[in-house]
Amino acid sequence: MIKPTKYTNINLSVIGLSAEIIKVLQSDSVQKYNQLLDRIIYKKGEEAKENFLLALGFLFLLGKIKYYKQEDVIQLLSLGEREVN
């Protein structure tokens, strides 16, 4: 559910989950994908699975996170740090 409606639970929306992912990554800036997913589900409930991947994609496009495929980890980039390729 990318486009919110008046019935959308803001806590489970892409933006709401993105904020929660950033909060979790601020305490530990590098986490395995499954570990991060489990922490978000613990905090927000099973319904969070629906938009979790969309929220990660949103944060990646904004340059807030980086994914390392070999280690299967997600890293929070600092405010001044941006991914340059």
Q: Which residue has the higher pLDDT, 26 or 84?
A: 26
- Interval 29-82: pLDDT, tens: 899 999 999 999 999 999 999 999 999 999 999 999 999 999 999 999 976 555
Its pTM stands at 0.85
Q: Please name each of the domains of the chain with its CATH number.
A: 10-76 (1.10.10)
Question: For the chain, first and last CA: distance in Å?
Answer: 30
Reported as a pLDDT band with limits 50, 70 and 90, residue 5 is confident
Average pLDDT, integer, range 20-33: 94
- Is residue 10 over pLDDT 80? yes
